[in-house]
Amino acid sequence: MPADHTLRVDSNDPIGASWFLLTLSSDVDLPRWEPGQFTMLSLGDRQDPLLRRPFSIYNLPEAERPARAVQILYKILGRGTALLSRVPPGASLAALLPLGRGFRPARQPGDRIVLVAGGVGVASLHPLAAFEAREGRPPLLLFGCRSADEMPGARATRALGVETLISTDDGSEGARGLVSDLLDAVLRERGAAGKILCVCGPTPMMSASADVARRHGARCHLSLESSMACGFGVCVGCVVGVRRGGSPAITYRRTCIDGPVMDASEIVW
Amino acid sequence: MSGPPDLSVTLGPLKLRNPVLTASGTCGYGEELAPYFDPALLGGIVTKSLSLHPREGNRPPRLAETPSGMLNSIGLQNVGVEAFLREKLPFLERCGTAIIPSIFGATVEEFAELAARLDDVAGIAALELNVSCPNTSRGGTEFGVDPDSTRRVTAAVRGRTRLPIIVKLSPNVTDITIVARAAAEGGADVLSLVNTFFGMRIDVERRRPILSSGSGGLSGPAIRPMAVHLTHRLARAVPIPLIGIGGIGGPEDALEFILAGASAVQVGTATFVDPRAAAKTVAGLADYCRRHDVTRLQDLVGKVHRAEDEGCAKP
């Protein structure tokens, strides 16, 4: 069951170009979450900005015992994240968690997960990488970012022993170009059979990756991003259009409750 | 003072355990809030607006944050009245609080049909008529800004239901008292105010509105002073119980509306920020009564002192 937890800021440290790793702790056991679930984090007791902000939960609870720490990997992208970056250790923040539907890919023995991360989208995929690594089947990571100065954002995921291929917009590290093009090349070289793509990043990057997946006939799950007011289903503001069961009709599904992870083949871009 | 303060409220034919309801469109059909608090703590739940048939709502983006507030343009996405009765009402009935469906029609006849459909259903305490949604191209706010339409819709619903009728007023009018009187003439038992104010945000980089629909409805603390003002004004203009709405997030906010003349309040956008906001408001009202030796909260309705009574504004 999700609940509102008051968490203490243990650290809130920059890790390279405008990226931060926030570590929050609780005095009590936290409910278990699954990779891809998120939290609605308060920015403190303020009315401007009014709304909490959704963040993927970055860390994976240990298998044996409940977590008492929550990590959030974020990048300063707007006013909310800029304010968050100035929250000092010792402060308290309210966090509604765990929210949403995470990664639950239906899989056959031998299937391999391919993580496709656009920038700070790696935050949603990292706990899945940790889970897969713990189960003894490390995934493949395709990490796309602006330039080499954002590479520290993927350091922890690579440290899990995950094979990693890089693309940067400016070619300063790895292949020059879009990570969706890198995905296309990887599927062409290695084939799409037995691969399950799990994608998170900016919407144009996810749309392009979903298109690549469709062309290769690859199974593909997206962790969608959307503006949210509540994060638990009541505002109906974060919807995405989906088509299901071959019907031409578009229905609007809530990213927060029906997602954030959804089947790429259903999304209407 | 002996015993807990009496928070109960009587709004014409509608009796509530306490004056705090959750506002339509901010609490779904109750289920999503149940993990966070016991709905029986509330005075009532006003559901997401229901139409005769399911509605898909507007294209995203549907949200835009604003200073101390937000714009929405949901477009009344809802399951429709039949699915509500089949799938949603059974849960709500078990909540142990007053259930008030909000209804929305594109025509007078649709409002009347909805009222008739809900009239003999067990477990419903009242109906709220959403004549003031700013986010639909047809119907909705067109009724709420026009006194004659408001009177006709209310009268048509009155003719088809024995349930108490709450008419939710739009603030997007020149004189809210004119529409309020029309609703009263049509047979409204209670008026709730206010629905959202029209608002717009523009993405200057793309030179486009942020909301897919262009404009939307503004809610949150930003509108509270305007809503308190309208409540205060209306309480002195019509002899009909009022429910105050607009940026209420805690007991002090609720008390502003109560002192201005509202018998009850609805908590809306604050629930998005804190799912327990309405329940905390109830608890805070009880605390206030204890601190101020108030035995019956209803004794405070409309009891704001006039500024001139203080004698300090005069030279």
Mutation pick from A97, A207, A236, A250 vs chain B, by most beta carbons of B within 10 Å, is A236
User: Measured between CB atoms, which of A3, A47, A237 is closest to B74?
Assistant: A237
Which residue's entry shows tokens 């006039």? B306
The 10s digit of each residue's pLDDT in B294-307 is 999 999 999 998 86
Report which residue type is found at B129: L
Task: Give the integer Cα–Cα distance in Å for B221 and B228.
Answer: 11
- The pLDDT assigned to A245 comes to 80
Chain B residues in contact with A237 by the CB 8 A cut-off are 60, 62-63, 72, 74
* Residues of B carrying an active site annotation: 133
Q: How many CA atoms lie within 13 A of A229 on its CB side?
A: 31
Note the ipTM here: 0.95
> Which residues of chain B neighbour A225 with C-beta distances below 8 Å?
none
pLDDT > 90: percent of chain B = 90
Distances (CA, A) of A245 to A52, A248, B9, B25: 34, 9, 49, 29
Q: Which residues contact B114 (CB under 8 A, 6 or more apart)?
A: B50, B51, B52, B81, B103, B104, B105
Question: CA-CA distances (angstroms) from residue A28 to A35, A178, B267?
Answer: 21, 43, 30
pLDDT tens-digit series, residues A106-139: 888 889 999 999 999 999 999 999 999 999 999 9
* pLDDT score at B315: 44
A-interface mutation test, from B27, B32, B196, B269, most A Cβ less than 10 A away: B32
pLDDT in tens, B168-213: 999 999 999 999 999 999 999 999 999 999 999 999 999 999 999 9
> How many alpha carbons lie under 13 Å from residue B81 in its C-beta half-sphere?
21
pLDDT at A44: 86
Spatial separation of the C-alpha atoms in residues A121 and B39, rounded to whole Å = 37
Q: Is the pLDDT of residue B310 over 60?
A: no
Please tell me whether residues A8 and A80 are part of one structural domain.
yes
Side by side, which strands form the sheet with A175-176?
Answer: A175-176, A163-168, A140-145, A112-118, A195-200, A219-223, A261-263
Under 8 Å between Cβ of A262 and A105: no
Please tell me the predicted confidence (pLDDT) of residue B136. 61
CB of A256 within 8 Å of a chain B CB? The answer is no
Beta strands in A151-210 (DSSP E): 163-168, 175-176, 195-200
Q: pLDDT averaged over consecutive 10-residue blocks of chain A (269 residues)?
A: 96 94 97 97 93 98 94 96 97 97 91 97 98 95 97 95 96 97 97 96 97 97 96 97 89 97 95
- The terminus-to-terminus CA distance of chain A in angstroms comes to 31
CA distance A80 to chain B (A): 11
Which of A99, A126, A146 marks a domain boundary? A99
SS3 B112: helix
CB A126 within 8 A of CB A156: yes
Contact A50 B269 (CB under 8 A): yes
- Who's near A255: CB < 8 A, 6+ residues apart? A100, A224, A225, A226, A228, A238, A239, A240, A262
Whether pLDDT at B139 is above 50: no
Give the whole-angstrom CA distance, residue A120 versus residue A154.
9
What residues contact A160, with CB distance under 8 A and at least 6 apart?
A: A129, A130, A133, A138
The CATH code of the domain that includes A10 is: 2.40.30.10
What residues contact residue B238 under an 8 Å CB cut-off, 6+ apart?
B177, B180, B181, B184, B191
Range of the domain at A261: 226-269
- Is B63 close to A228, i.e. CB distance below 8 A? yes
What are the chain B neighbours of A53 within 8 Å (beta carbons)? none
The last residue of one of the domains, among A70, A99, A128, is: A99
Contact B57 A252 (CB under 8 A): yes
| CA–CA dist B111, B186 (Å, integer) | 13
pLDDT in tens, B76-120: 999 999 999 999 999 999 999 999 999 999 999 999 999 999 998
Does the domain at B9-310 match CATH 3.40.50.300? Answer given as no
Instruction: Indicate the residue of A94, A234, A241 with minimum beta-carbon distance to B272.
Output: A234
Give the closest-approach CA distance of A150 to chain B in angstroms.
25
Task: Provide the number of structural domains found in chain A.
Answer: 3
Helix ranges (H only) for chain B are: 81-83, 89-93, 108-119, 141-144, 147-158, 176-186, 224-235, 251-260, 269-273, 277-291
CATH number of the domain residue A137 falls in? 3.40.50.80
A236: closest chain B residue by CA: B74
Burial state string for A191-206 with b = 16 or more CB within 10 A and e = fewer than 16: ebeebbbbbbbeeebb
Domain ranges, ordered by start, for chain B = 9-310
Task: Return the pLDDT at B135.
Answer: 64
**Residue B206 at interface with chain A, using a CB cutoff of 8 Å:** no
The pTM assigned to this predicted structure is: 0.95
Round to whole Å and give the CA distance between A97 and B286.
Answer: 29
Domain endpoint, select from A99, A134, A160: A99
Contact between A69 and A25 (Cβ < 8 Å): yes
Cβ contacts (< 8 Å) between B65 and chain A: which residues? Answer: 49-51, 227
Half-sphere exposure at residue B222, Cβ-oriented, CA atoms within 13 angstroms: 20
A71 and A26 part of one domain: yes
The confidence score (pLDDT) of residue B269 equals 98
One-letter amino acid of A113: I
pLDDT at residue B309 is higher than 90 = no
Pair of tokens at residue A214: 């469709």
Whether residue A234 is found in the same domain as residue A268:
yes
Tokens encoding A82: 């800029």
Q: pLDDT tens digits, residue range B10-61?
A: 999 999 999 999 999 999 999 999 999 999 999 999 999 999 999 999 999 9
Tell me, yes or no, whether A258 and A269 share the same domain.
yes
Are B21 and B44 within 8 A, CB to CB?
yes
Higher pLDDT, B283 or A244: B283
Residue B208 token pair? 């486009």
Domain containing residue A263: CATH number: 2.10.240
Least CB–CB distance from A51: residue in B35, B273, B275: B273
Contact A235 B63 (CB under 8 A): yes
Q: Does the bond joining A260 to the residue before it have cis omega, within 30 degrees of 0? A: yes
